[in-house]
């Protein structure tokens, strides 16, 4: 075929879901650029994906099924045929099911591709047919959604791109310039019209550097700040009385609650100036339209859901939901429900199976009391050895000789090294999909641009082949990709999405979810006081509860480990743990390090460049010290994303240290409530 172009959409777990154009010459992708017609990404990609072809054509791609010949974790494999690999898996699965039942098999997947069918579709039917354990919980997003919905009744917030109409923009616990870069031009547009940008983050991020005002509370304390803001809003008559009277429940109870949260009290909890809290509350209560923008950063705390539940009370009190450019913008994923119904992938007649929270992978693999114990693990679209907290426990589980581990991957990740069988996975360039965004209001089409490299296959094809190898015959297990996709799209102009590469969701041009005060809660109002939360054993009102592993909670852990550890996304060329191993990405970001403020370093006689040990009762890391003014006293940071091979010593990574306590509700996990000590090596 002569040189031609193919439209696609970035599959990464990233809010921007950029449109792209691939130039293909004689079956080889020779160029990949942003689609200039895409209304949100407008022709731009990012420093990760600008060099996506380096990933696709990397000599390190896994292109053949592999079977383990070394010890677990060693990473020594031999190439085998598909038939051989499928045969090994099918016979082990049959043995396990006969001996212990299907629940001894655990599927584990994340959003390595967040495409509609390649993230999760036929796997649900296959693992349903096997009666396998069911994965629940989330590394990302569910706690934020559940917290927000406790107040508003749904996940729906404002359209993020409407920040362009805002007069005040509060970027609360989100590092927009790094993690959501295509939103920044919309923010700059508002700024050129006079908007003020405030960043609230325990770390002076690149986004904080670019803001008009940076507020730096201690991690996990923001709810106290919000309670004090509400104190000021109510005290000073800055609330929208009509809106509150008509559309909310529990204003009196809330007023009583925040009465005991004067700015002085929050200032102490958050380590902020009283004047700053007064000024922030007054600014918020007297600016319209005022948009709060948040993503995931604050959900990784034990009180994570309460953060989002309380945050949603702010635009409700000020009536900011009424205004375009007001309200609260978070993940847009629930808007995709308008045109996408992924419940069509659920198995027919599925029964209730044992549930395992994905954040507790290490616990599940090492728990002697689980009945049945996990005997087989199947991982795709994720790298849990590096991305899930308390990771050394996962490693311990994966080393079990009696565990049979199957991984579908593009590369030999830390997780894949522990596999017994590895199946080669295609990249987004080689597979059909549709991507629903969580950062904007467009669905993206992804036409395969090239044929699968080597013997790699899309996840859906792996499930079809495995179903066949298991001797299953139900036709729903063998549905083809196009049919799966089309069955999940409702009311989408499929001709248009294929021709343009994207289509806007079937929602109004102006997204004002609660302007008229219709909240889909049990009471039909925004629930400042929530009966449902009370029924579930939570505080029915916004409340500040310090995370149990935190300076505010104190106790013996804090005495041994007095520093709070943040492990944020940090590198422009990384997307979670993907890319760190590529020569065009990893080396250009340097190496992992521990960052701390001058006072904490001085107390430990540490200078920049010194080797240090960072440890707690979970694990220990050896890292180079970097002294910065980005962090305040008592808070240190180690960037997330690097693999074992990038770390010295035993190959522990940032998540070897992190806390696997679940969040208050929503099924997420408290990575950022981690205490450590640091000392010179």
Q: Which residues bind Mo ion (CB under 5 A)?
A: 140
The 8-class DSSP code of residue 218 comes to P
- Phi and psi of 262, rounded to 5°? -65, 155
Q: 224 near 265, Cβ under 8 Å?
A: yes
Give the other-Cβ count within 10 Å of 378's Cβ: 27
Partner from ligand MGD, Mo ion, ligand SF4, none binding residue 118, C-beta < 5-8 Å depending on class? ligand MGD
Q: By C-beta, is 181 or 525 nearer to Mo ion?
A: 181
The residue at minimum Cβ distance from Mo ion is: 140
- Give the nearer residue to ligand MGD in terms of CB position, either 297 or 326: 297
18 makes contact, choosing from Mo ion, ligand MGD, ligand SF4, none, with CB < 5 to 8 Å by partner type, with ligand SF4
Identify which of residues 284 and 574 has a Cβ nearer to ligand SF4 in the complex.
Answer: 574
What angle is formed at CA 266 by the lines to CA 264 and CA 267, rounded to 5 degrees?
60
Q: Which of 7, 18, 453, 488 binds ligand SF4 (CB under 6 A)?
A: 18
String marking each residue 211-250 x if it binds ligand MGD according to CB under 6 A: --------xx-x----------------------------
Q: Among residues 276 and 506, whose Cβ is nearest to ligand MGD? A: 276
Q: Which of 38, 48, 538, 632 binds ligand SF4 (CB under 6 A)?
A: 48
HSE-up (13 A, CA, CB side) for residue 77: 26
Site string for ligand SF4, 49-78 (x = CB under 6 A): x-----------------------------
Whether the ω angle into residue 289 lies within 30 degrees of 0, i.e. cis, is: yes
Using rule CB under 6 A, residue 117 touches ligand MGD: no
CB of 577 to ligand MGD, least distance (A): 3
Concatenating the DSSP letter of every residue in 365-381 gives HH-TT-SSPP-EEEEES
User: Which residue, among 355, 337, 338, 330, has the nearest Cα to 145 in the 3D structure?
Assistant: 330
The distance from CA 671 to its chain's CA centroid, rounded to whole angstroms, is 12
Binding mask 175-214 for ligand SF4 (x = CB under 6 A): ------x---------------------------------
Q: Report, in Å, the least distance between residue 21 CB and ligand MGD.
A: 20
- CA-wise closest residue to 256 among 226, 234, 225, 223: 234
Q: Does 150 interact with ligand SF4 (rule: CB under 6 A)?
A: no
Contact stretch for ligand SF4 (CB under 6 A) within 45-53, 127-135, 319-327, 609-617: 45-53
- Residue 433 touches ligand SF4, criterion: CB under 6 A: no
DSSP code for 564:
E
Per-residue HEC secondary structure of 619-678 comes to: CEEEEEEEECCCECCCEEECCECCCHHHCCCCCCCHHHHCCCCECCCCCCECCCCEEEEE
Taking each helix axis as running N to C, give the angle between helix 274-286 and helix 263-270, from 0 to 180 degrees, rounded to the nearest 10.
120
Which of Mo ion, ligand MGD, ligand SF4, none is residue 521 near (CB under 5 to 8 Å by kind)? none
**DSSP structural state of residue 615:** E
Site string for ligand SF4, 528-567 (x = CB under 6 A): ----------------------------------------
Coil vs helix vs strand at 591? coil
Question: Taking the complex as a whole, how short is the minimal distance between the CB of residue 273 and ligand SF4, in angstroms?
Answer: 35
The CA-atom distances, in angstroms, between 109 and each of 67, 89, 438, 444 are 20, 18, 18, 22
Comparing CB distances to Mo ion, the nearer of 142 and 625 is: 142
Among residue numbers 13 through 32, which ones bind ligand MGD (CB under 6 A)? Answer: 13-14
Peptide bond into 372 cis (omega under 30): yes
The C-alpha atoms of residue 473 and residue 475 are separated, in whole angstroms, by 6
10 touches, from ligand MGD, Mo ion, ligand SF4, none (C-beta below 5 to 8 Å by class):
ligand SF4
Q: Which of 110, 278, 481, 527 binds ligand MGD (CB under 6 A)?
A: 110
Mask of contacts with ligand MGD, 124-143, x by CB under 6 A?
---------------xx---
CB 570 to ligand MGD: min, Å: 8
Tell which positions 290-349 bind ligand MGD, by CB under 6 A. Answer: 295-298, 301
Cα–Cα distance, 270 to 287 (Å, whole number): 24
The secondary structure element, H or E, covering residue 487 is: helix 481-488
**Pairwise CA distance, residues 354 & 377, whole Å:** 14
- Give 316 or 674: the residue with its C-beta nearer to ligand MGD: 674
* The entry of Mo ion, ligand MGD, ligand SF4, none that residue 122 binds, CB within 5 to 8 Å by partner kind: none
Residue 161 CB, nearest approach to ligand SF4 (Å): 15
**Which residue lies nearer to ligand SF4 by CB, 45 or 614?**
45
Report which DSSP code applies to 548. Answer: S
Tell me whether the omega of the peptide bond preceding residue 671 falls within 30 degrees of 0, making it cis: no
Please confirm whether the linkage preceding 476 is cis (ω < 30° from 0).
Answer: no
- Options 41, 223, 366, 413; binder of ligand MGD; rule CB under 6 A: 413
Kindly state the number of chain residues that form the binding site for ligand SF4, as judged by CB under 6 A.
13
55 vs 323, beta carbon nearer ligand SF4: 55
H or E stretch covering 555 = helix 555-560
Tallying the residues shown for the chain, one arrives at 681
Nearest to 565 by CA among 548, 552, 550: 550
DSSP states of 111-169: -SS-BHHHHSSHHHHHHHHHT--EEE--SSSHHHHHHHHHHHSSS----GGGGGG-SEE
Contact residue for ligand MGD among 21, 170, 203, 244 (CB under 6 A): 203
Q: Does 576 bind ligand MGD (CB under 6 A)?
A: yes
Q: Does 429 bind ligand SF4 (CB under 6 A)?
A: no
Question: Helix %, strand %, coil % for the chain, to 5?
Answer: 35, 20, 45
Of residues 416-435, those binding ligand MGD (CB under 6 A) = 425
Number of residues interacting with ligand MGD: please give it, by CB under 6 A: 58
Closest separation in Å from C-beta 290 to ligand SF4: 26
If one asks whether residue 378 binds ligand SF4 (CB under 6 A), the answer comes out as: no
Please tell me whether residue 12 binds ligand SF4 under the rule CB under 6 A: yes
* Per-residue contact flags (x/-) with ligand MGD for residues 356 to 395, judged by CB under 6 A: ------------------------xxxxx--x--------
Q: Does 10 bind ligand SF4 (CB under 6 A)?
A: yes
Listed residue (560, 563, 436, 575) closest to 114, CA to CA: 436
CA angle 356, 358, 361 (to 5 degrees): 85
DSSP state of 347: P
Q: In terms of DSSP bridges, do strands 502-504 and 4-9 run parallel, antiparallel, or are they unpaired?
A: unpaired
**What are the residues binding ligand SF4 (CB under 6 A)?**
10, 12, 14, 16-18, 41, 45-46, 48-49, 181, 575
**What are the residues binding ligand MGD (CB under 6 A)?**
13-14, 110-113, 118, 139-140, 172-175, 178-180, 200-203, 205, 219-220, 222, 295-298, 301, 380-384, 387, 408-411, 413, 425, 459, 566-569, 572, 574-578, 640, 654-655, 658, 671-672
């Amino acid at each position: 075929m002569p040189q031609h172009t193919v439209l696609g959409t970035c599959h990464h777990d990233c809010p921007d879901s950029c449109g792209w154009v691939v130039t293909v010459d004689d079956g080889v992708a020779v160029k990949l650029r942003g689609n200039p017609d895409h209304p949100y990404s407008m022709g731009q990609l990012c420093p990760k994906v600008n060099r996506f072809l380096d990933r696709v054509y990397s000599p390190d791609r896994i292109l053949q099924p592999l079977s383990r010949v070394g010890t677990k974790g060693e990473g020594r494999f031999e190439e085998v045929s598909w038939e051989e690999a499928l045969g090994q898996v099918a016979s082990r699965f049959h043995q396990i099911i006969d001996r212990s039942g299907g629940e001894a098999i655990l599927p584990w997947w994340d959003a390595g591709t967040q495409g509609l069918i390649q993230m999760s579709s036929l796997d649900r039917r296959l693992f349903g047919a096997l009666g396998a354990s069911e994965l629940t919980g989330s590394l990302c997003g569910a706690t934020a959604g559940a917290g927000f919905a406790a107040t508003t009744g749904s996940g729906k917030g404002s359209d993020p791109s409407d920040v362009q109409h805002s007069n005040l923009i509060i970027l609360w616990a989100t590092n927009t310039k790094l993690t959501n870069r295509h939103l920044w031009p919309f923010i700059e547009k508002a700024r050129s019209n006079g908007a003020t940008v405030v960043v609230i983050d325990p770390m002076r991020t690149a986004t904080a550097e670019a803001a008009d005002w940076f507020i730096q509370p201690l991690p996990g304390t923001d709810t106290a700040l919000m309670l004090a803001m509400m104190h000021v809003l109510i005290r000073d008559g800055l609330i929208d009385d009509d809106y509150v009277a008509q559309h909310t429940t529990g204003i009196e109870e809330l007023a009583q609650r925040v009465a005991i949260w004067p700015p002085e009290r929050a200032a102490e909890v958050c380590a902020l100036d009283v004047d700053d809290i007064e000024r922030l509350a007054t600014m918020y209560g007297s600016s319209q339209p005022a948009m709060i923008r948040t993503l995931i950063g604050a959900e990784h705390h034990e009180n994570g859901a309460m953060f989002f539940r309380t945050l949603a009370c702010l635009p409700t009190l000020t009536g900011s939901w009424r205004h375009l450019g007001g309200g609260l913008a978070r993940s847009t994923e629930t808007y995709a429900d308008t045109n996408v119904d992924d419940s069509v992938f659920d198995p027919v007649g599925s029964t209730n199976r044992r549930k395992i929270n994905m954040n507790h992978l290490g616990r599940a693999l090492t728990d002697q009391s689980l009945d049945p114990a996990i005997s087989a693990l199947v991982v795709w679209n994720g790298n849990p050895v590096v991305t899930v907290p308390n990771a050394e426990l996962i490693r311990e589980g994966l080393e079990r000789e009696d565990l049979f581990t199957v991984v579908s991957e593009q590369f030999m990740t830390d997780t894949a090294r522990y596999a017994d069988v590895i199946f080669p996975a295609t990249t987004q360039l080689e597979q059909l999909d549709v991507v629903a965004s969580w950062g904007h209001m467009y669905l993206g089409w992804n036409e395969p641009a090239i044929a699968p490299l080597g013997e790699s296959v899309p996840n859906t094809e792996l499930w079809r082949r495995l179903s066949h190898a298991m001797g299953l015959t139900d036709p729903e297990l063998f549905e083809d990709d196009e049919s799966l996709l089309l069955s999940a799209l409702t009311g989408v102009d499929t001709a248009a999405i294929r021709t343009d590469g994207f289509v806007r969701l079937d929602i109004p041009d102006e997204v004002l979810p609660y302007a008229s005060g219709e909240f889909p809660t049990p009471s039909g109002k925004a629930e400042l006081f929530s009966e449902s939360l009370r029924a579930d054993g939570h505080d029915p009102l916004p409340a500040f509860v310090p995370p149990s592993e935190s300076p505010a909670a104190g106790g013996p852990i804090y005495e041994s480990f007095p520093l709070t550890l943040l492990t944020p996304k940090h590198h422009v060329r990384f997307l979670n743990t993907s890319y760190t191993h590529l020569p065009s990405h990893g080396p250009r970001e340097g190496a992992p390090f521990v960052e701390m403020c001058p006072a904490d370093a001085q107390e430990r006689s540490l200078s920049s460049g010194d080797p240090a040990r960072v440890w707690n009762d979970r694990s220990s890391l050896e890292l180079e010290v970097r002294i910065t003014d980005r962090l305040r006293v008592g808070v240190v940071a180690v960037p997330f994303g690097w693999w074992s091979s990038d770390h010295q010593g035993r190959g522990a990574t940032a998540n070897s240290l992190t806390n696997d306590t679940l969040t208050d509700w929503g099924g997420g996990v408290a990575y950022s409530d981690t205490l450590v000590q640091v000392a010179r090596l």
